[in-house]
Amino acid sequence: MAKVTVVGAGFVGATVAQYIADKDLADVVVVDVIEGMPQGKSLDLTQAAPLLGHDRRLFGTNDYSDTKNSDIVVITAGIARKPGMSRDDLLKTNASIVQSVVKETIKLSSEAIFLVVTNPLDVMTYLTWKISRLPAPRVLGMAGVLDSARFQAFIAAELGFSAKDIRCMVLGGHGDLMVPLPRYCSVNGVPITELLSKDKLDALVKRTRDGGAEIVALLKAGSAFYAPGASVALMVEAILKDTHRLLPCAVYAQGEYGLKDVYVGLPAVLSRGGVEKIVELKLHDDELGALKRSADSIRENVEVMTKLLVTA
C-alpha cells in the first residue's frame, strides 16, 4: 500500500488526509509540530473509516521518523498572512518553515514525489526543488487544479449546468497574475465562448482570480481548505494510479512557452514518476504575454526570498 505524508495538520492538511483516505488511495501520516493536533485529527479520521467504507491507516505524529519511505510528501505547513504582516514577513516565515520541512523529509524519503501547497505556492515549490535537489519532475505545486476548479464552479453556477461537464484551464502563478484561458474552457466539448458573452466571461475570470480572497473575506478568519484539499487528492490520485491526467500544476519550465528556470502553472501530464511532460498549448500573444508577466513576478519573489533566507 502506498504511503503519503502530509506535513501540516491545519485545515488544509487534515482535509488532504481525509480525501486521500476517503478515495482509498494510500495510508496517510500527518505530521505537525503542535503536540496532539495531528494525533487527534488522525484518530477522528480513523473513526470515520468504518462509516465511509475504507481501511486506510491514518497516523498522526510529531516525529518525522514516522514519515520514512513515503511515496508522496505533501507540504501544507506554513502560516497565513495576518493583519500588519508584510508580504516579505510572510515569505520569510514560510520559506523558513518549508526549508526545514524539506530537509527533514528528504533524508527519510529520498525517492518521494514532493507536492507543495504552502503559499506563496510557486515560490515555495521552487524552494522545495532547490533544497531537495530532486529531479524537477518529482517536485510540483498544486494551485492550477484549484484555480481551474473555481473557474469551473463559477461557470456551472452561471449557466445552471452540471459542473461535471465543464473543463477549464488556468495557467500562471497562484495569485493576481494567474491566467485563466476561456478559449480552452468547454462544456462537454462545446466552447464556453459559444455559451457566455465576453462580459460575463470577463467577470468570471475576475472572480476566479479573487477566488481565495472572496472566501477569506467571508470567513473573517482563515482561508479555503475543502477545495484545496480536494485538488491535492486529485493530483495524488493521478500520480499513484499512474493515470496520465493532464492537469495545470506548478512545474519547472525549461524552455516551454519561452520560460526558463521558474516554477509556474502550466499544463502537465501526471504519472507515477510525477510530471511526465509539459504540454505546450498554442497561446495568443496576449495570453502568452500574461503568462510571462506571471512568471516574471514569481521569479522576482524567488529573488526576494533568497535574500531574506541569506540574511535570516
Please say whether the beta carbons of 267 and 301 come within 8 A: no
CA-to-CA distance for 183 and 6, rounded, in angstroms?
35
CA-to-CA distance for 182 and 278, rounded, in angstroms?
20
Residue type at 247 in one-letter notation: L
Which of 77, 1, 76, 70 lies closest to 29, judged by CA?
70
CA-to-CA distance for 219 and 225, rounded, in angstroms?
11
Neighbours of 135 (CB within 10 A): 12
Which of 45, 75, 74, 77 lies closest to 58, judged by CA?
45
Active-site residue, 284 included: no
* 255-to-260, 262, 263, 264 alpha-carbon distances in Å: 5, 10, 12, 12
Which of 86, 73, 79, 145 lies closest to 114, judged by CA?
73
Out of 54, 174, 244, 284, the active site residue is 174
Q: Which residues are catalytic?
A: 174
